[in-house]
Structure 1
Amino acid sequence: MSSDVCTNSENHKKPFPKLCVKGINDGKPTCPICYSREQEKPIIESENERWNDYKDNEKKVAFEKESLIADIAIKNARFENYRPTSEEAQANAEKAVKALKDFLEGAKFNLLLVGNCGAGKTHLAYSIGKELQIKNKEVIFITMSELVRKIKSTFNKDSALTEDDIIRRLVEVEFLILDDLGAELGALNSNDKATRFINTILFSIFDGRQGKATIVTMNLSSERIEEAYDERIVSRLLGNRVSIVFKETKDFRRRKIEF
């Protein structure tokens, strides 16, 4: 094959004649296709870098823009300002850090933080979410009561969103934190079951998120979960799970009250 013919199959399938063009490669025979690709490389790399930066920023923004939080004070929660009030709470904080590390290494599982109100479940869950966000992970934190309210608002004929839009987003997000599951059932000592509406929402979310990382905080025991929710939801929630359970830790928000 003549040296005046380019056979670089990465840039063109068939041999292509080299040309002598003034101002290009000192006028030596050069393949115009290969030369053009070489000139485009820095531009493409720069655009790819800009696109990746844009996507990373989109992921970070999701945690701030798309989360629905009932108690905005939780936005200040960090591992650094978590104050364990018992040995159990300290051990559970360490378990939460371990779960975060596993998530960052690519593990996919349901992380359940279970226990009484005020034990620190939401603080730890939000802290995990914040650290994931810092590492350019896409995270949405949503309180169960706010999720129900948001979905019901789509029933308004003027709503720009639909129920499917909301559920689809919660299914596709990389990390979902669902806070205070069970609050929609009412009093903790009641035997109420979830409504068909709630069961439909939760099944759609947990079924769609199989094989993804989901963090759930709740006050419910496994027995209460089985009583309250459809068995298909129970199967998906309790399957492939890691549990962090608060049995002894008191409500840390009341520890300074003296009367």
Structure 2
Amino acid sequence: MKSIADVISNLNNKRMGSTSEICYEHKVQANGKEYVKEIKKITFDGEVFCPLCERERTTQELSDEEDLKIKRAMGRRNYNVFHNQSILTDIDLLEASFTSYKATEPEEIANKKKASDVYAKYREGEIFNAWFTGLPGVGKSHLAMSILRNLNEKGEQDKSCLFVSVDEMLLRIRDSFGNKESRYTEHYFVDLLTSVDFLVLDDLGAETGATGTKKQATDFTLRVLYAIANGRQSKSTIVTTNLSKNDLMSMYDSRLVSRLMKNQVRISFENTVDKRLGDMEL
């Protein structure tokens, strides 16, 4: 980088002069009318130019450079939301991808294709909700994470992504009730989950109990989930659940289910078996 003295010395070594040429590009307002402001061009080191045009050009370049810096900073911040603020109960999901999802049966192959199509439509700017339903271990969370990771890695820099285990989120909120040092308050999560562009709500229903217990969500759970759903009406949300629509209607307020299922694409696993059991040696 040149010193100020070097720059001044360099300028002094270049010749500056006046010309008879006029620039007519600039206008001024006076008495309610617009007039052309004639600017006399100058020469500098053999080049002829309008000093006002040059100043405007330099100002615009600096402005564009600052805009680029801001966009890059925002891009880094959005990219880091996924890595720094997602809440997972299965750390292996961080490695989930479309490539690592092994589809051998017709339903698995079809659902993998549907998930890939969801990702493509999100990239194109479409806004809708995607639901992955089926028994545990069939790959719902894996495919949901695959969509989210691709959006975070390959999507627009001004878009933020977040993956949240519903059960773990609610546990942290409850813990904050008696822990004033905790940042994981109800307000924190509602604000975070409604602000991101793409959100995965993982394992909806697990926070209420085992499937088939006929338990109903507490007022606390309904309040949090409804606030999130209400704040995401103009954004895309991906939901994974082991529950059927009838189970969801029994467990939650119908308004909540209706809000989350609005404008949805459903990817349902009905015949796929628990992939995790296949890896166990008995």
The two structures have a TM-score, normalised by structure 2, of 0.82
Of residues 272, 279, 282, the one that matches 1:249 is 272
Cα deviation for residue 251 of structure 1 reads 0.5
User: Is the 1:20–1:27 Cα contact (8 Å) retained in structure 2?
Assistant: yes
Could you list the structure 1 runs, at least 4 aligned residues long, displaced by more than 6 angstroms after superposition: none
Match of 1:152 among 174, 185, 188: 174
Question: Is 1:223 the equivalent of 2:246?
Answer: yes
1:170-189 correspondence to structure 2 within 5 Å = 170-189=193-212
> What corresponds to 2:138 in structure 1?
119
User: Residue 161 and residue 183 in structure 1: after superposition, are their counterparts in 2 closer, same or farther (change >3 A)?
Assistant: closer
Name the structure 1 match of 2:80.
61
- Is residue 70–residue 145 contact of structure 1 (8 Å, CA) maintained in 2? no
The answer to whether the 8 A contact 2:200-2:237 is kept is: yes
CA contact (8 A) 1:185 1:192 kept: yes
Matches within 5 A, 1:73-84: 73-84=92-103
Q: Which has the higher strand share?
A: 2
User: Could you tell me how far 1:25 is from its partner in structure 2?
Assistant: 8.7
Measured in 1, the distance between the counterparts of 2:110 and 2:41 equals: 73
CA distance in 1: counterparts of 2:184 and 2:213, whole angstroms? 33
Partner of 2:14 in structure 1? none
In structure 1, stretches of 5+ residues that fail to align are none
Q: Establish whether residue 205 from structure 1 lines up as the match of residue 223 from structure 2.
A: no
Given the alignment of the two structures, is residue 142 of structure 1 paired with residue 164 of structure 2, yes or no?
yes
Length, aligned pairs only: 253
Q: Give the TM-score taking structure 1 as reference length.
A: 0.89
Give me the whole-angstrom Cα distance separating, in 1, the residues matched to 2:133 and 2:237.
14
More deviation, 109-118/128-137: 128-137
- Runs of 5+ in structure 2 lacking a partner? 1-20
Query: C-alpha separation between the residues in 2 aligned to 1:27 and 1:88?
Result: 71
Separation (CA, whole Å) in 1 of partners of 2:122 and 2:23: 52
For 2:4, the equivalent position in structure 1 comes to: none
Report the counterpart of residue 109 of structure 2 in structure 1. 90
CA shift digits 1:54-79 (9 cap, x unpaired) = 21121211110110111111111111
The percentage of aligned residue pairs carrying the same residue is 33
Q: Deviations over 1:118-176 (max 9, x none)?
A: 00000000010110001243100001112112322432223345422320121111000
Moved more, 153-162 or 100-109: 153-162
Q: Relative CO higher for 1 or 2, CA cutoff 8 Å, sep ≥ 6?
A: 1
Q: Does 1:36 align with 2:55?
A: yes
Deviation, 1:211, is 2.1
For the residues of structure 2 that align with 1:200 and 1:182, how far apart are their CA atoms?
14
**Aligned-CA RMSD value:** 2.2
1:238 and 2:261 correspond: yes
